[in-house]
Structure 1
Amino acid sequence: MKEGRIDLLIIGGGPIGLACALEAQKAGLSYLVVEKGCLVNSLYRYPLNMTFFSTSERLEIGGIPFVSNNAKPTRAESLEYYRRVADSAKIRMKLFEEVTAIIPADGYYTVQTSKTHYEAENIVIATGFYDIPNLMNVPGEDLPKVTHYYRDPHYYAGQKVVVVGANNSAVDAALETYRKGAEVTMVIREGNIGKRVKYWVKPDIENRVEEGSIKAFFYSTIHAIHDHSVDIKTPDGIVSIDNDFVIAATGYQPNFSFLEKVGIALSKDWKRYPAYNEKTMETNLQGIYLAGVVCGGMDTHVWFIENSREHAKKIVHHIQNKNSYTF
C-alpha cells in the first residue's frame, strides 16, 4: 500500500462507527474514524435525563461489558461507556472534523474533510440520522422559541409549552416539563399515544392526558407558530392557544444529500432506502459500505445499536475476503 493510505476510513464516531473501528483493529486493518462532532455526538445530544429502552448488554460493542446501575442504562452511563471503550482500545479518530467529499481515485478514495484529506481503500458511512430534523414546514417554525432538540426540563418551568409528536421523545419532553411546572399541550397527528413508547412510561402519559393535567389535541397538526401563540389544526377547525415554547419532536432523517453527493443510490419512494448488499453492507459503489441506522433511510425504527452492531463484522469480513465472495 502507498504511504499514508489506510484500509478503512469510518465516517461517524457513534457506537456503530466505534464498533467498526474495533473490528478493523481486531483484523489488523489500518483505519481512522472521522467524526464531525464530539465522541458519540448523537448520544451526547439526547435529553439529559434520557433512559434507554434497551438493556446495557444490548448496547455493548466489541464484546466489552457495559455495566449500569439499573437494567436500563441512562444517557450519562452510555456516554461514559463509549468513552471508556474508545480510550481503552486506543481507537484512532479525528473529532470535530467533517467529511465534505468522497472522490474516487485509481482503486481507492480521496476523502476531503473540513481540515485535511485522506486516502482510503474502503469507506464506512455510519452517520446515523440525528442531525437533520423532520420539519413541520409551517409558518413560524424558524422562530427562536421552536426547537427540534429537547434537552432539559428546567428551562421550561412556569412556561406554556407545546410538544409536537406522540412517540418517546415527545412523551419524555411532555412529562418532564409538566413535572417542572410547565403548562403542557401535546399536538398529535394520530388518535393515540405512539405504540413504541416505552412500556413503563406509556401509562403515565395516558393517565396525565386523561385527567387533564396535560392537554392533548389528537388528529391534529401545527398550522402556524407566532411569537406568543400557536395555531393548531384540529378536526373542529383552527384552535389558537397562548404559547411560550414549541418542542417539535417530529423525528430526524439521514443526510440524504451527502449520500447522493457520494453517489449512493436511493429508492424513489418516500422511505429513500439506500442501496446496499445485506450480506456485506457494501453499497452500489465498490468499497463504500453503510453501517447502523443510516441503512434504514426514512424508516428510522428498523436499526438500533443492538441489531446493527453486527454490520461491523460483515464489513470487515468482506474487506478481508472480497475475492472469495459469491452471490
Structure 2
Amino acid sequence: MLDVLIIGAGPIGIACALEAKKNNLNYIAVEKGALVNSLYNYPSNMTFFSTSEKLEIDEIPFISNNSKPTKQEALEYYRRVATSNQLNINLFEEVIEVVKKSDYHYQIVTNKQTYNTKNLIVSTGFYDIPNPLNIPGEDLPKVSHYYRDPHYYSMQKLVVVGASNSSVDAALETYRKGADVTMIVRGEQIGERVKYWVRPDIINRIKEGSIKAYFNAELNQIFEDKVTFKDENGKIQTLENDFVLALTGYQPNFSFLEKLGIEINKQQKYIPTYNEETMETNQKGIYLAGVICGGLETHKWFIENSIIHAEKIIKAIKS
C-alpha cells in the first residue's frame, strides 16, 4: 500500500514527489506522457514569463542564460531535479480508473499495472483539452489547437484565432518565417496579459500592416481553402486560407475530477472544492495541486505560485 500516488509529473507533480521523498513517504508519480509532458509540448521557441528563480523547486538552483528561461532550459532543469533526486516517476503510464475502496484507500488502475494508495494527488494541469470553437470545419486537418514550430507555416496563408500569449507568439514567429498571418480576435485589443516585452511588437506589426488583425470578430466557418468570419459590424467576410491555429485556451479534465467524486462549482468558473490550507478535496485522501485548482480560471495558478501546494499536501498527509 502506497502512502501517496501522484497523477501527473509536471513541475508541480515533481515538487509533490520530491516533498514526499523528503518526508520518507512511500510514493509513486505516474505520467501518461513524457516528463513534464505539457511543457514538452509547448512551442519550440517559448520563453517563460517568470524568471528562473521563481520556477525553482525546493530551492534547487535554476540557472538560465537570461533572466527568463526558455522551454529547453526548463526541460533540462526539471529533468535534472527528477533524475538527480532519483524520484519514483513512471512515464508513459496512463490512469484508466480510480476505485474508492474506502476513505484513504484508493485503487488506481493504469494501462500498465494496479496500485493501492492511502492518498491521491491530482496534478494534471490543463493543457490536454482545448477550448473548442464549435463551428463547422473545426475538425479539418488544417486546423490545430496547438502551435509548436513556425517553419511549418512558411509561405502559407495562416489564420490565428485569439490574442493571448500563445496566439501572439504564434502570429509573430510565423510572420517572421514568411507566413501571411491574419489574426481573428473576439476582444477589442491584444490581451492585457500578453508578455510586456512582446505586446508592443505585435501592436506595431498590426499597425504597419505586416500582420492583419480583425478585432471584435469571430470565426464563423472553416473550409478547405478559405474561412469565413463575422467582423465588428456583423458582416460575414471571407479569407483565402491554408491553415488555422485556434489558440483559444485549454481547460482541466473536469470529467475525471467528477468521476473521482470531487464537487465542482459550475456556477463559478468550474472551480473544484478543496481546503485551501491542506488542498484536500471533499473526498478524503484526494488532493489537488497546481493549475487544476483554478477550474476555468487557468491564469490563477501557475508554476511559481502553486509549488507551495506540494508542501501543504505532504504536511497534511503526514499529520
Please report the TM-score for the alignment, with normalisation by the length of structure 2: 0.98
From 50, 53, 65, the equivalent of 2:49 is: 53
> Residue 206 of structure 1 aligns with which residue?
203
From 139, 142, 146, the equivalent of 2:136 is: 139
From 98, 102, 105, the equivalent of 1:102 is: 98
User: What are the residue-to-residue correspondences of 1:1-327 with 2, within 5 Å?
Assistant: 5-106=1-102, 107-236=104-233, 237-269=235-267, 271-321=269-319
How far is the alpha carbon of 1:100 from its aligned partner? Answer: 1.6
Aligned residues: 317
Question: Where does the alignment leave 5 or more consecutive residues of structure 1 unmatched?
Answer: 322-327
* CA-based RMSD: 0.7
Please report the TM-score for the alignment, with normalisation by the length of structure 1: 0.96
Letter in 2 for 1:226: F
Give the distance between the partners of 1:14 and 1:269, measured in 2 at CA.
29
Letter in 2 for 1:32: I
Give the distance between the partners of 1:118 and 1:62, measured in 2 at CA.
27
1:29-72 deviation digits (Å, cap 9, x = unpaired): 01000000000000000000000000001111122110000000
> Residue 324 of structure 1 aligns with which residue?
none
Greater displacement, 122-131 / 97-106: 97-106
Find the residue that maps to 2:21 and give its secondary structure. helix
Displacement over 6 Å in runs of 4+:
none
What percent of counterpart residues are identical?
63
Find the residue that maps to 1:22 and give its secondary structure. helix
How far is the alpha carbon of 1:270 from its aligned partner? Answer: 5.7
Give the distance between the partners of 1:120 and 1:199, measured in 2 at CA.
44
Give the distance between the partners of 1:195 and 1:268, measured in 2 at CA.
26
Give the distance between the partners of 1:52 and 1:8, measured in 2 at CA.
31
Letter in 2 for 1:201: V
1:267-321 deviation digits (Å, cap 9, x = unpaired): 0226100000000000000000000000000000000100000000000000111
Give the distance between the partners of 1:214 and 1:239, measured in 2 at CA.
17
Question: Where does the alignment leave 5 or more consecutive residues of structure 2 unmatched?
Answer: none
How far is the alpha carbon of 1:235 from its aligned partner? Answer: 2.2
1:145-172 deviation digits (Å, cap 9, x = unpaired): 0000100000000000000000100000
Find the residue that maps to 1:70 and give its secondary structure. coil
Give the distance between the partners of 1:139 and 1:248, measured in 2 at CA.
13
Maintained 8 Å contact 1:101/1:262: no
